[in-house]
Structure 1
């Protein structure tokens, strides 16, 4: 049995990097993917501007250790990335005793497919290493 997730999309915001008390680097990103909307007959349709109507989905992605450091350093909002990893489900009880559920992708590999949305040299990732 296999649990593999592969998504390609744009970063919805800048990465959020942190270090655990144990010294592990953790970086969270949100990747937005789009898919065409369909009518009741299953056909795609155009929006009022003449473009194919789309629906966006937001995916939480978590990176660890070296991958976390690289993503935190080289990624920025608007950048096109391809993420490979596995789907991870969590369950917890909030402060009111209500059971909550969460889903995220734990990344094994991220490929940078474009530069970030900024135009400064800080976002120039042409020297970014290949990351696995």
Structure 2
């Protein structure tokens, strides 16, 4: 059972990029989350103590985050919460990470422009029984198939 969370805050560091041993892109950055409340006595907004999370992104999300996120950007992050502890030289360390499934700018605090990432042409597989869909490729392999590029089908 995993714990999924959504946090709203600011990028507190630049994005660092690396490749895993398997060649998978990985991006990390720190995120600061500060609770805010309105103090009626002073009539002002007051920030509470900040919590810091390490945000970890893989594959396409890592590539997109690297190109899109800068230190200080207001963000909304959703993902799996992980807390890791270890001991080194007699001292205990704790890190709170979010294995992100989604990262975006917080549009309540600014505007952003979205650009789709170019992806290779997808193949549409239609089984001889004329049925297309998520399982068509598996059916096609079992009974024979006509395979056509989506672009060619749409152009016709």
TM-score (norm 2): 0.60
Equivalence for 1:54: 47
Listed as ranges, the gaps of 5+ residues in structure 2 are 118-156
CA RMSD of aligned residues (A): 2.8
Aligned to 2:30, the other structure's residue is in SS state: strand
CA distance in structure 1 between the partners assigned to 2:114 and 2:47 by the alignment: 34
Equivalence for 2:19: 19
1:72 correspondence with 2:59: no
Q: In the alignment, is the contact (CA less than 8 A) between 1:74 and 1:128 conserved in 2? A: no
Higher relative contact order (CA 8 A, sep 6+): 1
CA distance in structure 1 between the partners assigned to 2:10 and 2:30 by the alignment: 8
CA distance in structure 2 between the partners assigned to 1:57 and 1:47 by the alignment: 25
Say which structure is richer in helix.
Answer: 2
Deviation at residue 92 of structure 1 after TM alignment: 2.9
CA distance in structure 2 between the partners assigned to 1:100 and 1:10 by the alignment: 23
Change (3 A) 1:93 1:22: farther
Larger Rg: 2
Deviation at residue 12 of structure 1 after TM alignment: 1.3
Q: In the alignment, is the contact (CA less than 8 A) between 1:12 and 1:78 conserved in 2? A: yes
TM-score (norm 1): 0.69
Aligned to 2:23, the other structure's residue is in SS state: coil
CA distance in structure 2 between the partners assigned to 1:70 and 1:85 by the alignment: 16
Change (3 A) 1:13 1:98: closer
Q: In the alignment, is the contact (CA less than 8 A) between 1:24 and 1:65 conserved in 2? A: yes
1:90 correspondence with 2:84: yes
Equivalence for 1:40: none
Deviation at residue 112 of structure 1 after TM alignment: 2.4
After TM superposition, which residue ranges in structure 1, 4 or more long, deviate above 4 angstroms?
none
Aligned pair count reads 114
Change (3 A) 1:25 1:51: same
